[in-house]
Structure 1
Amino acid sequence: MPIKFENVGVAVRDLEATIAFFTDLGLTVLGRDTVSGDWADTAVGLDGNHANIAMLQTPDGSGRLELFEYIHPNAIETEPTQPNEIGMHRVAFSVDDIDEALEIAAAHGCYPLRGVATYEDIYKLSYIRGPSGIIVMLAQELKKS
């Protein structure tokens, strides 16, 4: 059976702030909608499912990120995930300039969990705490293949 990756979905506290963060990093908004109804209840598995959504895409078109802000049922606040927790871990992006990307993130109040590391002179990378506690990995390739 053929399979194709479509997107990563993330529930967020503030859709507008999260869109601003990711579009400032270079993603574009493909579309926005409000979803509800029997089909949404069935697909998601929540009665009365009602959410504002936005689909974002990377500039090269290879990756999509779907953001949800729940209207009903109410969103459930949780502790921000840690890098070693089981389950959804992070969203990762390649960037041309990690320092510039970190400046953009900081303008949104989002900072590295610890700092910037260099992996075998191949990548500079950092995990940052993004909007709604999302862990976002930024990686700058140092040696072009």
Structure 2
Amino acid sequence: MVRDTLVDICFRSGISAGKEVDIGLDGGHDKNLRPADMLLYSWDGGLDVCVDLTGSSPLTQTGMSDFAPGRAVTDAAQCKRGKYMTKCADIGYGFLPFSFSSFGELEKDAVTLLKRVRNFSMAQDIGARAASHIFNRIGFSIAKGVGA
């Protein structure tokens, strides 16, 4: 649900993006090749960027004694970076984790991506009024997904 919302936001902002794009990313250990959750075309200096969306719950941390706000999204993003960043680079793509929690927290790269989309939308004057609601739409889709 979050992926579909993010692709729709990009589309409405005039950003070329695809979902579940088969880029030939090796799943490893005899697993099938997996598609990128989302691909932003010519996003980073002309480089296509794979976006891996990851939802997590802060309540799944090892113990409440070491609980830290934002830790679940940061840990999930680090795990994805370690797993896919070099694989994507090897086949000529950039990589960006989009990590969010069931509480609506967003990892710093996800916030940076949404701000860049918002700024692009406002600069192009494509839905400039709607640009201010990008974070609300993502937050709503996270909440709706958790509720489902």
TM-score tier after normalising by the smaller chain length: 0.3 to 0.5
Q: Which has the higher Rg, Structure 1 or Structure 2?
A: 1
**TM-score, normalised via structure 1 length:** 0.37
Q: Please report the TM-score for the alignment, with normalisation by the length of structure 2.
A: 0.36
User: Which is richer in helix?
Assistant: 2
